[in-house]
Amino acid sequence: MILDEFRLDGKVAIVTGGGRGIGATIAEAFAEIGASVVCAARTRSQVEDVADRIRAQGHDAFAVDCDITTSEGVARLISETIARYGKIDALVNNAGAGGLAGGHGPTAAITDEQMISAFRLNFLAAVNVSRVAIPHMKDLPGTIVNISSGYARVANIGSLLYGCAKAALEQATRMMAMEFAPGVRINAIRVGAVQSENMKANLLAVYPGIGEKLAAWTPVGRLGVTRDIALAAIYLASPASAYVTGKILDVEGGMVVERSVMEIIQRSERLQHGSQTAA
């Protein structure tokens, strides 16, 4: 059956940033299609809640609270997964952050500490978890799905660190896919305007009405939801994508025009104040 190619029966999948938002939805979706899911994040209560929801549906889940920006946190995540399941089949590198912590803010005000923190969280953590997990991917091919952002492609005022870190993650996806083929397939999802907790806190709440503007500007006519990303992750982590590696999959409702969210906001504000604007 063709639908069997989209299942993960008997597979063990780690989802970082699995305590809320996109990560939690991916964890629940993977469990629904047969995987034993390891939900990893720094906040114990969040990953336990997600694991409890998965178990309540009759599926297998395990919560690990760890900080994957540290070598100790990465080692703990992998060792606890191996101790429980003996292998790793799939990894979703979803952990990251927007806002000031993730590298958004005026470029002139950037500190050395912020640069290091933004790259460690949005780029280096994914690389480190991947390289420690790959030796434990015994039932080949293993799969890795990195979660990127539209900011890796479009220019945006005030998002230098975040955008550059995600661009680095996309290039790491291509480089590692080449290095570890054919034993491990590595791809990424470039996420558009998806209504995650991060987007709600750092964009929708800050700029009233921007959600409606973005929806109107998107060809499919709506903002994304976390399930949109989970469905794409299922494809990339499952045998259905067996001939795909080193690719970046855009999941953004058709929003292909090379303009950023902030440009839309700034243009709107200039129009409201009667200023002259450029096309």
Q: Which range (3-7, 223-227, 269-273) has the least confidence?
A: 269-273
- Give me the pLDDT at residue 276, please: 39
The CA–CA distances, whole Å, from 274 to 32, 189, 228, 265, 266 equal: 52, 38, 38, 14, 12
Residue 152 in this model has a pLDDT that exceeds 50? yes
Angle at 158 between CA 250 and CA 196, to 5 degrees: 45
Q: Is the pLDDT of residue 151 over 80?
A: yes
The percentage of the chain sitting over the pLDDT mark of 90, rounded to a whole number, equals 68
Split at pLDDT 50, 70, 90, the class of 155 is confident
Q: What percent of the chain has pLDDT over 70?
A: 87
pTM of the model: 0.89
**Catalytic status, residue 162:** yes
CA-to-CA separations, 226 to 20, 26, 136, 147, 186, in angstroms, rounded: 10, 8, 29, 12, 21
DSSP string, the chain: -GGGGG--TT-EEEEETTTSHHHHHHHHHHHHTT-EEEEEES-HHHHHHHHHHHHHTT--EEEEE--TTSHHHHHHHHHHHHHHHS---EEEE-----TTTTT-S-GGG--HHHHHHHHIIIIIHHHHHHHHHGGG--SSSEEEEEEEEGGGTS--TT-HHHHHHHHHHHHHHHHHHHHHTTTEEEEEEEE-SB--HHHIIIIITTSTTHHHHHHHHSTTSS-B-HHHHHHHHHHHHSGGGTT--S-EEEESTT--SS--HHHHHHHHHHHHTT-----
Neighbouring-strand partners of residue 188: 146, 248
Q: Given pLDDT bands bounded at 50, 70 and 90, which one contains residue 246?
A: very high
Q: How high is the pLDDT of residue 183?
A: 97
For residue 279, what pLDDT band results from cuts at 50, 70 and 90?
Answer: very low
Average pLDDT, the chain: 89
Sign of torsion over alpha carbons 19, 193, 200, 104: positive
pLDDT of residue 58: 98
Band (277; pLDDT cuts 50, 70, 90): very low
Please tell me which residue in 162, 207, 235, 243 is annotated as part of the active site.
162
Give me the residue spans of the domains in the chain: 8-272
Question: According to the model, what pLDDT value does residue 216 have?
Answer: 83
Q: What is the pLDDT of residue 196?
A: 79
CATH for the 8-272 domain, from 3.30.565.10, 3.30.70.1230, 3.40.50.2300, 3.40.50.720: 3.40.50.720
Residue 239: half-sphere exposure toward Cβ, Cα within 13 Å: 13
The residue assigned the tokens 């058709």 is 254
pLDDT band for position 108 (cuts 50, 70, 90)? confident
Report yes or no: 231 and 194 within 8 Å, Cβ to Cβ.
Answer: no
